[in-house]
């Protein structure tokens, strides 16, 4: 039973989307919504089945053993990512019903038809990414993911979103061609692309090192790790809210997952210490630059898109912490678990946040952060959902982000890399800063009650709240069943010490928000005394923020970004070779 | 010998394509440059197949199978990019990738 679930998890969304495509019209939404609980049940089934077997669940397509055949494999990592995907998908499905209805008197409308079908296509592609047992299957899955994600950006057909979609597609293609070159070189060097067989064959030959560097940079371009992020802000901020939620929460995790597979499963012994430090340095730069950019945004959706970029950077901090310097390879342990937990909690929290932003946009008719005052009084549940997803993102105990941070910090102190402790804590403070800035504006009182444009069905708010709560309660899940950590590593997230230690980054974040936040902070959040001195400090702090914005603008130009791809590929190659 | 020549040709095509991807401003030219880049990569797959010849075959069939899949993907990607480009042209009358005003300009209106 277990192994056949792996095939079903890919086949069911595809059957659903083909059926919806053929039937069309008003039935599309019903077919897709009916497929979603089945997909969720299958994902949970896989998660249960992986616990019952020793080693991964394996399904051989057509009964052919690798290297001749292709295998699907599910380990604990695949299982938890599949369940996360399924939960986020179901919440988005419930939320999106009101956004994508076919108008009365029309048999079929373009945007709903495309949205529902692409949603299932993304799901099928992601499950293939999580289960694919060889590098070429992963390439095909990655391409399916991109092709399903790009049209979501331009569902409304406006010129700016079409431009954003085209930029996304072209940059993603660059990434996938680089990945493809890597697979060709790896196949040439070892004669197989199966992950298990390949992991026994790869060694530090020049061809393998070039392949690894090219594949890594290709995957980073698709994940939008700073400085390869030119496509993400416009694409994620321009899409309709449910589409932004899918793109930000799930689609970027697909290529991140393949990078994790590549380094932890295919070639754990290949990277030297300099390579893992370089990768995390890019992550730290992403956290710093993109958090400051988030603080300086005028529009809510752009702020959330930049927050996604900063959180993607956070994911890459796990690489040096998971590096076992004694055995010179990457090991699945606490740091690895922390990184994956961070990916899961970001997926749930960010989807909730984008959907809450969608509710605000629907209620107010705009999403300017400075004009959010009064939305809390008019729509308290929406504000609550926004606040909870923000707290989950910051990593307040017992959220998943908190558990992730705790594991990463422990790994940093175990491996005596104090600089990553600093980066992790600073990242937490920066996350708090833009979340607090946003909440300060949204919770502020308006001079006159906000005029609401539309009524919101309660199911939409419930879907957002549920997803934010899932993210906030992820710390309670016994992760040691799926990851190689001790059950004590994450025990009791609600002691006085953990709660008080979680307070410091939030206080620091408040300070950063006052110094760097765009526009005037609502006066209720500022003490009356010392306004003048705060003003002076603000002027001083805004200067480096201005430089960061200029650098970001320069990096988001097409030629700079492609040259950055090449420079990074070269640096990765040198770093891997130097580590040998 | 011939495998080496083809391999070098593939590398040159990939390099030319990559150069075009960086320098060409027009999206249609970028798409074409991608196809040149892709063709170079597919040629490298052919060379890998030739070098893997064994058991009486003149080449390893697996890279051929991979490259056919790769071509299908490249074809679909090109079709999608051209379709997006056409819609962009119909919607805006121009076809460039240059984004809106930079955020530094937008920030100058900050109070």
Segment A296-330, tens digit of pLDDT: 888 999 999 999 999 999 999 999 998 888 888 88
User: What digits encode the pLDDT tens for the residues A440-457?
Assistant: 888 877 777 666 766 778
Strand A329-330, strand A323-324: pairing: antiparallel
Neighbour-count burial of A103, counting CB atoms closer than 10 A to its CB (0-12 exposed, 13-18 middle, 19+ buried): exposed
- Name the residue with tokens 């509710």: A359
By the CB < 8 Å criterion, does B30 face chain A? Answer: yes
- Taking the C-alpha atoms of residue A196 and residue B59, their distance in angstroms, rounded to an integer, is 24
Specify whether the CB–CB gap between A131 and A73 falls below 8 A: yes
Q: What is the CA radius of gyration of chain A?
A: 23
Which long-range contacts does B50-58 make (Cβ < 8 Å, 24+ apart)? Answer: B50/B2, B50/B3, B50/B6, B51/A188, B51/B3, B52/A188, B52/A191
User: Is the pLDDT at A530 greater than 70, yes or no?
Assistant: no
Q: In the prediction, which pLDDT does B107 show?
A: 44
By the CB < 8 Å criterion, does B99 face chain A? Answer: yes
Whole-number Cα distances in Å, A363 to A354, A413, A457 = 14, 46, 12
- Name every chain B residue with its beta carbon within 8 A of the beta carbon of A177: 34, 37-38, 41
Least CB-CB distance to A562: which of B21, B106, B107? B21
By the CB < 8 Å criterion, does B12 face chain A? Answer: no
Q: Is the peptide bond before A227 cis (omega within 30 degrees of 0)?
A: yes
CB contact under 8 Å between A147 and B77, yes or no, is: yes
Which CATH code, of 3.40.50.2000, 3.50.30.50, 1.10.287.3510, 3.40.50.970, is assigned to B3-110? 1.10.287.3510
CB contact under 8 Å between B70 and A556, yes or no, is: no
By the CB < 8 Å criterion, does B39 face chain A? Answer: no
By the CB < 8 Å criterion, does B58 face chain A? Answer: no
By the CB < 8 Å criterion, does B85 face chain A? Answer: yes
Q: In the prediction, which pLDDT does A566 show?
A: 93
Q: How far is A519 from chain B (nearest CA, A)?
A: 6
Nearest residue on chain B to A185, alpha-carbon basis: B48
Nearest residue on chain B to A293, alpha-carbon basis: B103
Residues above pLDDT 70, as percent of chain A? 96
- Taking the C-alpha atoms of residue A149 and residue A118, their distance in angstroms, rounded to an integer, is 7
User: Is the pLDDT at A437 greater than 80, yes or no?
Assistant: yes
User: Is the pLDDT at B106 greater than 50, yes or no?
Assistant: no
- Name every chain B residue with its beta carbon within 8 A of the beta carbon of A558: 22, 97
User: What digits encode the pLDDT tens for the residues A226-270?
Assistant: 889 999 999 988 899 999 999 999 999 999 999 999 999 999 888
User: What digits encode the pLDDT tens for the residues A170-214?
Assistant: 999 999 999 999 999 999 888 889 999 998 888 888 889 999 999
Torsion angle (degrees, nearest 10) of CA A237, A242, A248, A249: 160
Which residues lie closer than 8 Å to A529 by C-beta, 6 or more apart? none
User: Is the pLDDT at A488 greater than 80, yes or no?
Assistant: no
Specify whether the CB–CB gap between B16 and B36 falls below 8 A: yes
Residues above pLDDT 90, as percent of chain A? 47
- DSSP 8-state class, residue A134: B
Q: How far is A407 from chain B (nearest CA, A)?
A: 36
How many degrees, rounded to 5, is the angle at CA A89 between CA A88 and CA A90? Answer: 95
The alpha carbon of A468 is separated from its chain's Cα centroid by a whole number of angstroms, namely: 15
Chain-wide mean pLDDT for chain A?
88
- Taking the C-alpha atoms of residue A435 and residue A431, their distance in angstroms, rounded to an integer, is 6
- The arithmetic mean of pLDDT across residues B43-69, rounded, is 83
Q: How far is A64 from chain B (nearest CA, A)?
A: 14
Please give the ipTM for the structure prediction.
0.89
- Name every chain B residue with its beta carbon within 8 A of the beta carbon of A174: 21, 34
Which residues lie closer than 8 Å to A265 by C-beta, 6 or more apart? A195, A199
CB contact under 8 Å between A562 and B80, yes or no, is: no
Query: How crowded is the C-beta side of A118, counted as CA atoms within 13 Å?
Result: 25
User: Is the pLDDT at A43 greater than 70, yes or no?
Assistant: yes
- Name every chain A residue with its beta carbon within 8 A of the beta carbon of B111: 519-520
Least CB-CB distance to A519: which of B27, B31, B111? B111
Residue A239, token pair as written in the block: 């899409």
Residue B29, token pair as written in the block: 């030219």
Residue A463, token pair as written in the block: 């879907």
Q: In the prediction, which pLDDT does A525 show?
A: 55
* Domain residue limits, chain B: 3-110
Nearest residue on chain B to A158, alpha-carbon basis: B91
Least CB-CB distance to A166: which of B27, B37, B48? B27
Nearest residue on chain B to A190, alpha-carbon basis: B52
């Amino acid at each position: 039973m277990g192994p056949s679930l792996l095939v079903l998890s890919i086949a069911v969304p595809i059957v659903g989307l083909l059926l919806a495509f053929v039937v069309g019209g008003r039935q599309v939404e019903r077919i897709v919504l009916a497929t979603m609980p089945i997909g969720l049940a299958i994902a949970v089934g896989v998660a249960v089945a992986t616990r019952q077997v020793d080693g991964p669940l394996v399904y051989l397509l057509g009964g052919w053993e690798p290297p001749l055949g292709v295998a699907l494999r599910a380990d604990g990592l695949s299982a938890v990512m599949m369940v996360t995907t399924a939960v986020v998908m179901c919440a988005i499905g419930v939320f999106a019903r009101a956004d994508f209805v076919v108008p009365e008197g029309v048999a079929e409308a373009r945007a709903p038809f495309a949205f529902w079908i692409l949603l299932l296509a993304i799901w099928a592609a992601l499950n293939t990414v999580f289960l694919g047992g060889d590098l070429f299957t992963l390439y095909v899955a990655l391409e399916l993911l991109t092709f399903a994600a790009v049209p979501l950006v331009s569902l409304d057909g406006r010129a700016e979103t079409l431009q954003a979609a085209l930029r996304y597609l072209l940059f993603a293609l660059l990434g996938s061609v680089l990945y493809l070159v890597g697979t060709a070189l790896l196949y040439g060097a070892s004669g197989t692309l199966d992950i298990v067989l390949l992991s026994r064959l790869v060694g530090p030959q020049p061809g393998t090192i070039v392949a690894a560097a090219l594949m890594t940079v290709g995957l980073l371009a698709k994940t939008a790790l700073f400085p390869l992020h030119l496509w993400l802000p416009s694409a994620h901020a321009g899409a309709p809210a449910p589409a932004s939620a899918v793109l930000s929460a799930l689609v970027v995790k697909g290529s991140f997952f393949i990078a994790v597979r590549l380094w932890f499963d295919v070639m754990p012994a290949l990277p030297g210490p300099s390579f893992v430090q370089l990768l995390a340095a890019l992550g730290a730069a992403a956290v710093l630059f993109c958090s400051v950019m988030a603080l300086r945004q005028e529009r809510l959706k752009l702020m959330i898109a930049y927050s996604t970029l900063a959180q993607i950077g956070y994911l890459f901090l796990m690489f040096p912490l998971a590096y076992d310097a004694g055995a010179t390879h990457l090991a699945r342990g606490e740091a690895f678990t922390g990184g994956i937990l961070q990916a899961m909690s970001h997926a749930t929290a960010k989807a909730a946040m984008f959907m809450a932003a969608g509710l605000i946009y629907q209620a107010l008719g705009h999403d300017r952060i400075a004009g959010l005052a009064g939305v809390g009084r008019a729509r308290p549940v929406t504000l609550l959902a926004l606040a909870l997803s923000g707290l989950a993102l910051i990593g307040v105990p017992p959220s998943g982000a908190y558990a992730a941070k705790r594991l990463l910090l422990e790994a940093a102190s175990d491996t005596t890399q104090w600089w990553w402790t600093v980066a992790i804590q600073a990242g937490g403070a920066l996350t708090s800063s833009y979340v607090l800035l946003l909440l300060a504006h949204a919770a502020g009182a308006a001079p006159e009650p906000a005029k609401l444009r539309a009524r919101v069905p309660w199911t939409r708010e419930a879907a957002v709240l549920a997803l934010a709560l899932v993210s906030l309660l992820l710390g309670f899940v016994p992760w040691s069943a799926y990851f190689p950590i001790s059950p004590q590593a994450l025990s009791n997230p609600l002691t006085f010490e953990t709660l008080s230690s979680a307070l410091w980054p939030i206080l620091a974040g408040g300070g950063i928000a006052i110094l760097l936040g765009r526009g005037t902070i609502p006066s209720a959040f500022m003490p009356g005394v010392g306004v003048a001195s705060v003003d002076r400090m603000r002027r001083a702090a805004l200067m480096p923020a201005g430089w960061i914005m200029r650098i970001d603008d320069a990096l988001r130009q097409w030629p700079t970004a492609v040259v950055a791809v090449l420079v990074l590929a070269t640096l990765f190659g040198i770093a891997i070779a130097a580590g040998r | 010998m011939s495998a080496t020549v083809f391999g070098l040709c593939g590398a040159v095509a990939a390099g030319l394509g990559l150069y075009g991807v960086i320098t060409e401003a027009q999206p249609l030219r970028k798409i074409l440059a991608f196809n040149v880049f892709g063709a170079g990569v597919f040629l490298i797959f052919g060379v890998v197949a030739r070098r893997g010849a064994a058991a009486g075959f003149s080449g390893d069939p697996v890279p051929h199978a991979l490259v056919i899949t790769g071509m299908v993907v490249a074809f679909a990607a090109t079709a999608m990019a051209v379709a997006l480009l056409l819609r962009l042209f119909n919607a805006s009358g121009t076809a460039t990738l240059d984004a809106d005003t930079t955020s530094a300009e937008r920030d100058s209106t900050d109070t």
